[in-house]
Amino acid sequence: MELKPAAAHEPAHDADEAGNFTLRTYLIGFLAAAALTAIPFWIVMSGAIASAAIAGTVIVALAIAQILVHTAAFLHVNSRVQGGWTLVAYVFTAVLVLITIAGSLWIMFHLNSNMMPGMEGTPNGVP
């Protein structure tokens, strides 16, 4: 991936700035997204996978796949648009989002399990 400042682009190079949309990309993206939405709803609503742990893992994996489909097909993020800067910002944000969510859950889980026995359940699920 080659990084270039956005200002270096000529105004005529629309494709480098906004991406080049084709009907085909949108339709393929839409069909993939529809399938990746329908499958997790079906899994949960039909109870097709008996183990909640396995079902949960599968629907999270499908959600990540669908986010990537939307990013590529609808948001047109790739290494060429804006000289790659949208992709850099996207990856950086993904890292921050992961740290925020996983870090919060990790810390708060340990806070809860380190509470004194008498305070069990106080922060989570007061009767």
Partner 1 sequence: MTAPADDLPAAPAFYEVEAHGTTHSGGGTLLGFWIYLMSDALIFAALFATFGVLSSSFAGGPTPGELFDLRVVAANTAVLLVSALTCGLAMIALQAGKLAAVRWWLIITALLGAAFVGIELVEFRELVAEGATPQRSGYLSAFFTLVGTHGLHVTFGVVWIVVMLVQLGQRGLHAENRRRLLCLAMFWHFLDVIWIGVFTFVYLMGVLRWS
Q: Site residues (CB under 8 A) for partner 1? A: 6-7, 9-12, 14, 17-18, 21-23, 26-27, 29-30, 33-34, 37, 40-41, 44-45, 52, 55-56, 59-60, 62-63, 66-67, 70-71, 74-75, 82, 85-86, 89-90, 92-93, 96-97, 100-101, 103-105, 108, 123-127
Q: How far is the CB of 20 from partner 1 (least distance, A)?
A: 8
Give least dist CB 72 to partner 1, A. 11
* Distance, CA of 71 to CA of 90 (rounded, Å): 9
Nearest-approach distance from CB 118 to partner 1, in angstroms: 18
Give the CA dihedral 36, 38, 44, 49, nearest 10 degrees.
Answer: -70
116/124 with CB nearer partner 1: 124
With beta carbons less than 8 A apart as the criterion, state whether 17 and 9 touch.
Answer: yes
Q: Nearest approach, Cβ of 19 to partner 1 (angstroms)?
A: 9
Residues near 111 by beta carbon (within 8 Å), at least 6 away in sequence: 123
Q: At what angle do helices 52-73 and 23-46 cross, to 10 degrees?
A: 170
Cα angle 20, 22, 24 (rounded to 5 degrees) comes to: 145
